[in-house]
């Protein structure tokens, strides 16, 4: 088992000691990947103080032998809940923690039936609490995902011109990002032009892009199981006075927020640094989403960066800073970069130029 995975397992056991459970059943496939490196679609992890067991089915027998090191590997012969029950009984577990946010009600009922006499304890964000701080291996993977996404974006700029259909430009982006090494896009690419640029999640449509329109391009790639997320926007052919003014407000708001990113700072204060500035310029009603979010195994994970967030920044967190202004019927702009929280501030991980024209 790689050292970084040994460390994750040790930290998980430390976290378990602070709960009411004797062991943890991990069912979230994202958390299974984080702990084991397994890239298949069906796998479960059971961690006790003495054992670390990985359970999957016959389809992944060879794959799990290659990917999962340092765990007892169990290949299902029946339902996976039966294998979990067998390990729980063998290990003398009396209180089994499970991921309440992930487990379906019917699965819980089936597991409870198999584990008569064992109390099932719903635990929240045990593995996610570990994932919020990235180690060197994770930062390297995210950095590679960024490189792939930025390469694809740059190569695809020739498609952001009048007469091109948004969806065709999106297809060009995916081809170039995957040519750069990504197995897939991190999410459905957003290319929203003209009035559609006022839709924060305006996934590419059949609309034809036209000169003078604002365009928002939100995209991401993956590398070795990790994701990235960034946005660039501008005007096809160059902005008019109003477009240039609003773009500058968004850009300045982002700079203020990035400057506020430091260890110990509440995430809601980072959000306020951008949100209050946008409001001071008269556009507060046109910025309605959170300023950012963590990125790693998933595109959206902790910490949250919003007015409601209770998270506090710490070294090793990777998050997006993405203020925007969206005016119905007119268009909009968003600028999004990823930052790594350091010991004394942050480092911007993304490097694409921020210009207001295509």
Give the residue range(s) of CATH 3.40.350.10 domains in the chain. Answer: 3-131
pLDDT at residue number 78: 87
CATH for 136-348 (3.30.2130.10, 3.40.50.300, 3.30.70.20, 3.90.230.10): 3.90.230.10
CA 349 to chain centre: 15
pLDDT at residue number 139: 98
Q: Do 52 and 11 meet the contact criterion of CB atoms below 8 Å apart?
A: no
Write down the pTM of the prediction: 0.95
Check pLDDT > 90 for residue 2. Answer: no
Q: What secondary structure does DSSP assign to 132-164, as a single string?
A: TS--HHHHHHHHHHHHHHHHHHHHHGGGSSTT-
pLDDT at residue number 70: 94
β-strands 52-56, 72-75 pairing: parallel
Q: Do 160 and 236 meet the contact criterion of CB atoms below 8 Å apart?
A: yes
pLDDT at residue number 353: 96
Cα 212 from Cα 293, distance rounded (Å): 31
Ranges assigned E (strand) in 221-308: 222-223, 226-227, 230-235, 292-294, 301-305
Kindly report which listed range (84-93, 189-198, 253-262, 344-353) carries the lowest average pLDDT score.
84-93
Check pLDDT > 90 for residue 285. Answer: yes
Give the residue range(s) of CATH 3.90.230.10 domains in the chain. Answer: 136-348
CATH for 3-131 (3.40.350.10, 2.60.260.20, 1.10.3720.10, 3.30.2350.10): 3.40.350.10
């Amino acid at each position: 088992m790689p050292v970084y995975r040994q460390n994750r397992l040790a930290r998980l056991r430390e976290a378990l000691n602070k709960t009411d459970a004797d062991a943890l059943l991990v069912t979230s496939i994202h958390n299974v990947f984080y702990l084991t490196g397994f890239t298949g679609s069906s796998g479960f992890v059971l961690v006790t103080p003495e054992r670390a067991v990985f359970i999957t089915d016959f389809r992944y027998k060879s794959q799990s032998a290659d990917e999962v090191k340092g765990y007892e590997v169990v290949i299902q012969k029946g339902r996976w809940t039966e294998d979990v029950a067998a390990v729980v009984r063998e290990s003398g577990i009396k209180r089994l923690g499970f991921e309440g946010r992930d487990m379906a009600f019917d699965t819980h009922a089936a597991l409870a039936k198999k584990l008569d006499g064992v109390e099932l304890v719903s635990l929240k964000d045990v593995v996610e609490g570990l994932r919020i701080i990235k180690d060197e291996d994770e930062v390297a993977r995210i950095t590679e995902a960024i490189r792939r996404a930025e390469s694809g974006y740059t190569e695809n700029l020739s498609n952001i011109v009048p007469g091109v259909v948004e969806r065709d430009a999106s297809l060009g982006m995916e081809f170039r990002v995957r040519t750069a090494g990504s197995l897939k896009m991190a999410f459905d690419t957003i290319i929203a032009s003209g009035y559609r640029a006022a839709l924060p999640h305006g996934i590419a449509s059949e609309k034809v892009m036209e000169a003078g329109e604002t365009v928002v391009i939100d995209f991401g790639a993956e590398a070795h199981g990790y994701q990235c997320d960034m946005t660039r926007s501008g005007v096809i052919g160059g902005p008019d006075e109003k477009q240039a003014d609003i773009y500058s407000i968004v850009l300045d708001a982002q700079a203020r927020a990035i400057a506020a990113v430091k260890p110990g700072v509440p995430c809601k204060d980072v959000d306020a640094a951008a949100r209050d500035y946008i409001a001071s310029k008269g556009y507060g009603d046109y910025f309605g989403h959170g300023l950012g979010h963590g990125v790693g195994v998933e595109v959206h994970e902790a910490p949250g960066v919003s007015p409601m967030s209770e998270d506090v920044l710490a070294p090793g967190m990777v998050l997006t800073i993405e203020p925007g202004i969206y005016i119905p019927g007119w268009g909009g702009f968003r600028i999004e970069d990823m930052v790594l929280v350091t010991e004394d501030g942050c480092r911007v991980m993304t490097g694409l130029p921020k210009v207001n024209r295509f």
